[in-house]
C-alpha cells in the first residue's frame, strides 16, 4: 500500500466501519478503496499557474480584486488553513485561487462537484489543479467515511478550499452551510489549523440567466451543457470579482465528536462569509427595483437600502444612490435585465433581477424581501 492508502485505512472511522461489517468487511474494504481511487488528486503547481494563459479569454473579462489578503498571509504563516467560501459561479474555481496566488499564497486543493470531472477537464482537475471530486447528496456510508478519512489525511500536507453551501446558489441568496467537510476538517486533528472565511461577489455573474431561470437545482446537468450556456452569455460580458478574506477562526475550541459543535462552527463561518460579502451597485439596484419605477423613486429606495446596510456594518462597495444608479444601470441594461425609457426603469428579466437582489437578503432581513 502507498502512504495515503495506509493512512486512510488506519483512521479510526474506517477501522470502526470495517469492523462493523463483520463477514462483509472485505467487500466494504474494496468499496472504500474504489472511492479512495476516485478521490485521489495531485496538484502540479507549475502547470497550474500556466493554465491562466489558455483561460485568458474568460479571465480577461473579470477584474480580480482581493480584499484583506493580509489575513490570508497571516493564516498560512501560522499553520495549515482551510478556506471556506460562498459559491456564486463556476468562475469561482478560477478567480479565488488566482487571488490567493496573486497575494503570494499557493493555491490549495479545491473541493468541487464530481460533474466537473468528465473528459479532458477531469484530467486537468485530477492531475494539475488538484481538485477533489465530491459526490454531493450521497448517503452511502462507505463513501462518506472514505471522504472524511481522505480529507483528514490530506490536511496534514495540504491546505483545502471548499464551498460550505455545496453547489452554486441558484436563487442568488446565501444558502445554509452543510456540515460534512467541517466535520472532516475537525476530525483531521491537525494542530494549529484554522478556517479562513472567504466571500466572493461579482457585479455580474457569468451564468446569471441560467441559474435564475432554474431557481432551484433539481438535477445535475452535464458540465459540457452548462459550459455551452456560459459561452453564450460571455458575449460582451465584463465584471469585477471581489474576493474578501476574513480573520482566521481557530478550531481548537470545536469538538469533532459533537454534532452541535460542528453545526456551531458551520453557522459561525456562514455568518462571517455573509458579513464579508461585498455590497455592489448591481445588487443594490436590483433589491430596490419595482416592476416599473421613476428614477427619483428608485433613488429614494436605494438610499433606504444603503442606510440599512450601513447600519449592519456590511462590506460596502458603494455609498450613495447616485453612485449605484451610475454604476449599475448600464451593465444591467446591456445584460438585458432592465430597460430604461423616458426616465422610468422597467424590469425585463424578473427572475434574473431577483437573483441579484436576493444576494443581499442575508444583510437586509427582515427588510430583505425584494419586489
The reported pLDDT for the residue numbered 368 is 40
State the angle between helix axes of 12-20 and 25-39 in degrees (0 to 180), rounded to the nearest 10.
140
Question: Burial letters for 53-68: b for 16+ Cβ neighbours within 10 Å, e otherwise?
Answer: eeeeebbeebeeebbb
In whole angstroms, what separates CA 332 from the centre of its chain?
23
The pairs formed by 222-231 with CB atoms below 8 angstroms and a separation of 24 or more are 222/115, 222/118, 223/115, 223/116, 223/118, 223/121, 224/118, 224/119, 226/90, 227/90, 230/90, 230/206
String of DSSP letters for 70-123 = HHHHHHHHHS-EEEEE----TTHHHHHHHHHHHTT----EEEEEGGGGSHHHHH
The reported pLDDT for the residue numbered 2 is 84
Question: How far is it, in rounded angstroms, from Cα 8 to Cα 324?
Answer: 52
Question: How far is it, in rounded angstroms, from Cα 339 to Cα 353?
Answer: 12
Task: Count H helices and E strands in the chain, helices first.
Answer: 18, 13
Between vectors from CA 338 to CA 335 and to CA 343, what angle results, nearest 5°?
Answer: 130
In whole angstroms, what separates CA 185 from the centre of its chain?
17
Domains of the chain plus CATH, in order, are: 5-276 (no CATH), 279-364 (1.10.10)
Question: How far is it, in rounded angstroms, from Cα 4 to Cα 184?
Answer: 16
227 C-beta neighbours (distance < 10 Å), count: 14
158 C-beta neighbours (distance < 10 Å), count: 17
The reported pLDDT for the residue numbered 278 is 98
Alpha helices in 128-189 (DSSP H): 141-154, 180-187
Question: How far is it, in rounded angstroms, from Cα 185 to Cα 164?
Answer: 12
Q: Rounded to 5 degrees, what are φ and ψ at 139?
A: -110, 0
The reported pLDDT for the residue numbered 99 is 95
Strands in 344-347's sheet, in edge-to-edge order, are: 292-294, 344-347, 338-341
String of DSSP letters for 221-234 = PPHHHHHHHHHHHT
Among 197, 196, 182, CA closest to 254 = 182
**C-alpha cell of 62?**
473579470
| pLDDT block averages, 10 residues each, the chain of length 371 | 88 92 88 93 76 74 96 96 96 90 91 78 74 87 94 94 93 94 94 96 94 67 64 83 97 93 97 98 98 97 97 96 98 96 95 96 68 39
Amino acid at each position: 500500500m502507498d502512504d495515503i492508502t495506509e493512512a486512510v485505512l488506519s483512521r479510526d472511522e474506517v477501522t470502526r466501519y470495517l469492523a462493523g461489517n463483520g463477514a462483509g468487511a472485505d467487500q466494504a474494504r474494496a468499496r472504500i478503496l474504489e472511492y479512495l481511487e476516485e478521490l485521489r488528486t495531485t496538484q502540479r503547481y507549475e502547470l497550474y499557474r500556466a493554465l491562466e494563459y489558455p483561460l485568458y479569454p474568460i479571465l480577461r473579462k473579470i477584474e480580480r480584486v482581493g480584499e484583506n489578503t493580509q489575513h490570508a498571509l497571516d493564516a498560512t504563516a501560522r499553520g495549515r488553513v482551510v478556506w471556506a467560501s460562498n459559491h456564486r459561479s463556476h468562475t469561482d474555481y478560477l478567480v479565488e485561487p488566482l487571488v490567493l496566488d496573486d497575494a503570494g499564497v499557493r493555491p490549495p486543493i479545491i473541493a468541487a462537484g464530481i460533474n466537473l470531472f468528465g473528459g479532458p477537464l477531469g484530467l486537468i482537475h485530477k492531475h494539475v489543479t488538484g481538485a477533489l471530486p465530491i459526490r454531493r447528496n450521497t448517503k452511502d456510508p462507505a463513501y462518506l467515511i472514505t471522504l472524511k478519512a481522505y480529507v483528514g489525511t490530506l490536511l496534514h500536507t495540504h491546505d483545502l478550499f471548499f464551498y460550505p453551501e455545496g453547489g452554486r446558489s441558484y436563487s442568488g441568496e446565501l444558502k445554509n452551510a452543510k456540515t460534512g467537510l467541517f466535520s472532516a476538517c475537525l476530525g483531521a486533528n491537525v494542530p494549529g489549523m484554522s478556517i479562513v472565511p472567504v466571500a466572493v461577489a461579482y457585479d455580474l455573474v457569468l451564468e446569471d440567466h441560467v441559474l435564475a431561470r432554474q431557481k432551484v437545482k433539481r438535477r445535475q446537468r452535464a458540465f459540457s451543457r452548462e459550459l455551452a450556456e456560459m459561452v453564450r452569455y460571455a458575449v460582451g460580458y465584463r465584471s469585477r470579482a471581489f474576493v474578501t478574506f476574513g480573520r482566521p477562526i481557530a478550531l481548537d475550541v470545536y469538538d469533532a465528536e459533537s454534532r452541535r459543535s460542528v453545526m456551531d462552527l458551520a453557522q459561525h463561518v456562514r455568518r462571517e462569509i455573509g458579513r464579508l460579502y461585498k455590497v455592489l451597485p448591481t445588487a443594490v439596484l436590483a433589491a430596490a427595483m419595482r416592476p416599473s419605477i421613476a428614477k427619483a423613486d428608485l433613488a429614494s429606495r436605494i438610499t433606504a437600502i444603503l442606510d440599512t446596510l450601513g447600519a449592519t456594518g456590511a462590506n460596502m462597495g458603494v455609498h450613495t444612490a447616485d453612485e449605484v444608479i451610475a454604476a449599475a444601470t448600464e451593465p444591467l441594461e446591456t445584460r438585458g435585465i432592465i430597460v430604461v425609457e423616458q426616465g422610468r426603469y422597467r424590469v425585463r428579466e424578473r427572475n434574473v433581477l431577483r437573483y441579484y437582489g436576493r444576494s443581499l437578503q442575508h444583510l437586509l432581513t427582515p427588510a430583505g424581501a425584494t419586489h
